[in-house]
Amino acid sequence: MANLIADTIKSLKRSHALSQALQGGSNGIYHLTIPFVGKTPTVQFSTVSDVPAMSADNVEIYRSVTIRFHILTKRGEAEYNPIVREMNRIMAEIGWSRVQTTEIYEDGLVIKIVDYRIGVEAE
């Protein structure tokens, strides 16, 4: 699991287009926690599901992992659309599928939430 997350972070941070769209460049992508001090747009993500997808003889063979991204913005679609487009491209290249999106408003922020899922061999 650690390699899967590390590889995902590396792929996202390598994107020049994504770095340009984020406050702080590639340092605007955070795993688990975000030292949010009002700078937007930034991206935070975490694993929301890691469950067996296939097993045989009580042994897990394959699992399904879902990660959730929160794209924090102040201007909504104008800021998050280019980020989501680039993230969709990158995530598809490395094998992830987008499974759902939603938008919430909280404390003056527009937060776009995007979930991606991938199937991987059990460790």
CATH number of the domain residue 28 falls in: 3.30.70.1700
- The pLDDT tens digits of the residues spanning 82-112 come to 999 999 999 999 999 999 999 999 888 999 9
For residue 64, the enclosing domain spans: 2-121
d(CA 40, CA 71): 9
pLDDT of residue 36: 66
Coil, strand or helix: which one is 89?
helix
Domain total of the chain: 1
Cα angle 106, 81, 6 (rounded to 5 degrees) comes to 85
Residue 35 has pLDDT above 80, yes or no: no
- The pLDDT tens digits of the residues spanning 57-67 come to 988 999 999 99
Q: Please give the mean pLDDT across all residues of the chain.
A: 91
Which strand ranges, in their side-by-side order, compose the sheet holding 42-56?
29-31, 42-56, 59-73, 109-121, 97-106
Over the range 87-101, which residues count as b (16 or more CB within 10 Å of their CB) and which as e? Answer: bbebbeeeebeeeee
The whole-model pTM stands at: 0.89
- Locate the DSSP E strands across 1-123: 29-31, 42-56, 59-73, 97-106, 109-121
User: End-to-end distance of the chain based on CA atoms, in angstroms?
Assistant: 8
